[in-house]
Amino acid sequence: MEHGKCENCDGQLTGRVDKRFCDDQCRSNYHNRNKRKSERVIAAVNRQIRKNRSILHRFCPNGKATVRKERLLDAGFSFQYFSSIYQQGKLAYYFSYEYGFAPIVEQSHSEGRPIEKVLIIQYQEHMKGKFDPWKY
C-alpha cells in the first residue's frame, strides 16, 4: 500500500501509514543533514578545542613546556576556545582536555621589550575540581 513520500528523497513510501522514510539510509541522511544545521557552532567549537589539544600536545610532549605565543598562533591555535580552567594563585590555566596553557610575559634582556609566552602543562590529578569562578 503506497501512502506518501520519503522526507529525504521524495521516494514513494510503502508499508506502515506513519512511515516517514523509505529506508534506514534515508532516515540517517535526513537527521544528519538537519542536525548539522542546528549544531554547526557546537561542532566547530569542538573541532577547535581538539585542534588546540593536539597543538599543545605537540609543543609539550613531556608534561611542561614554555613557548612563544606566536608559535601556537602559527600552528592554528585559538586562545578563545578551551574546555576548562584551573586557577593556581594568580595564574590561570586554560585547558583543552588534558593539556592546559597559561599566558605569561617575560622581559627580554636582548630585545628590551616584554615577550608574550605560553606555559603549557599536562593535567595532574591534584587539579581536579579546584576552580570556583566566584572566588577569583
pLDDT of 105 higher than 90: yes
Confidence band of 128 (pLDDT split at 50, 70, 90): confident
Confidence band of 133 (pLDDT split at 50, 70, 90): confident
Give the contacts of 58 (CB within 8 A, at least 6 positions apart): 75
Indicate if the alpha-carbon torsion angle 75, 79, 85, 91 is positive or negative: positive
pLDDT of 2 higher than 70: no
What is the pLDDT averaged over residues 46-68?
96
d(CA 87, CA 104): 14
pLDDT of 124 higher than 70: yes
d(CA 91, CA 32): 42
In this prediction the pTM is 0.72
pLDDT in the model for residue 59: 97
pLDDT in the model for residue 60: 96
96: closest CA among 122, 128, 76?
122
pLDDT tens, residue by residue, 60-99: 999 999 999 999 999 999 999 999 999 888 899 999 999 9
Listed in order, strand segments (DSSP E) in the chain are 2-5, 12-14, 64-68, 84-88, 91-96, 99-107, 114-122
Give the contacts of 76 (CB within 8 A, at least 6 positions apart): 51, 55
